[in-house]
């Protein structure tokens, strides 16, 4: 359900995320078995935990380790603490919508644009705009998980001008005025704000929710 209507089950990576609710609900934290590391449903390895240490979870729980098949994690009602559960339990769940999404599929620029615009029901996704230094830093960090060295963005040259498909103005000062290659990328191992490539090449891409 979460992957169809939103991005995924929620990932919580820092203390500042407040998920207080009046019910127990699944989050994206899970593991394959007791010998495996905890990871999020997005595939990211878990490094932050908020275990409930006072042994008052709704179901039996001890030592923060979870016994046997207790390999999925739910948030305890009215608290920001986590408990282990059996993955087939019927519980409510917490979804989230990610602002910037790395899609690890290789598509042309036009195919990537179509993919973004069809991504989620009732969500206004398109290829991503990366205008500010914070935008670039955040996107480059996410791009380290890409399977291609460069990732498509929403930067495009058409009709004698550069534009972002999200509608924002292009603020780059050193962008070519008559380019042979007309689609924008972010290079994951470069400090450059943008790169320009042939739109028919295939690579991973960034989608984002238009503000």
pLDDT digits (tens, 9 = 90+) for 88-101: 989 999 887 778 98
Assess contact for 126 and 41: CB atoms under 8 A. Answer: no
User: Do 117 and 195 belong to one domain?
Assistant: yes
Chosen domain end from 96, 113, 128:
96
- Lowest-pLDDT range, 2-11, 44-53, 136-145, 175-184? 2-11
Do the beta carbons of residue 154 and residue 164 sit within 8 Å?
A: yes
Question: What pTM, to 2 d.p., does this model score?
Answer: 0.65
- Are 203 and 107 within one domain? yes
- List of residues 6+ apart from 162 with CB closer than 8 A: 155, 156, 170, 172, 175
The pLDDT tens digits of the residues spanning 112-159 come to: 999 999 886 657 889 999 999 999 999 999 999 999 999 999 999 999
Helix (H, G, I), strand (E, B) or coil at 87: coil
Span 32-90, pLDDT tens digits: 988 889 999 988 889 988 887 765 565 544 444 576 668 999 988 767 788 888 899 89
pLDDT number for residue 177: 87
Last residue of a domain, one of 78, 96, 114: 96
End-of-domain residue from the set 43, 74, 96: 96
Domain housing 142: 100-209
- Total count of domains within the chain: 2
Same domain, 74 and 141: no
- C-alpha 95/C-alpha 50 separation (Å) is 18
140 with 160, same domain: the answer is yes
């Amino acid at each position: 359900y979460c992957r169809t209507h939103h991005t995924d089950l929620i990932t919580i990576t820092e203390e500042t995320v407040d998920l207080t609710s009046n019910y127990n609900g699944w989050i994206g934290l899970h593991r394959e078995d007791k010998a495996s590391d905890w990871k999020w449903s997005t595939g990211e390895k878990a490094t932050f935990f908020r275990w409930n240490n006072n042994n008052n979870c709704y179901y039996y729980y001890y030592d923060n380790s979870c016994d046997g098949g207790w390999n999925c994690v739910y948030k305890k009602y009215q608290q920001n603490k986590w408990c282990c559960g059996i993955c087939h339990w019927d519980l409510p769940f917490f979804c989230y919508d990610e602002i910037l999404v790395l899609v690890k599929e290789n598509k042309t620029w036009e195919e990537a644009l179509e993919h973004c615009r069809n991504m989620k029901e009732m969500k206004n996704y398109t290829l991503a705009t990366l205008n500010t230094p914070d935008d670039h830093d955040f996107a480059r960090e996410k791009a380290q998980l890409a399977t291609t060295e460069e990732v498509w963005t929403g930067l495009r040259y058409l009709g004698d001008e550069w534009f972002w498909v999200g509608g924002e103005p292009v603020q780059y000062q050193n962008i070519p005025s008559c380019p042979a290659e007309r689609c924008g990328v972010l290079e994951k191992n470069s400090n450059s704000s943008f790169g320009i490539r042939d739109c028919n090449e295939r690579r991973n891409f960034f989608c984002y929710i238009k503000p």
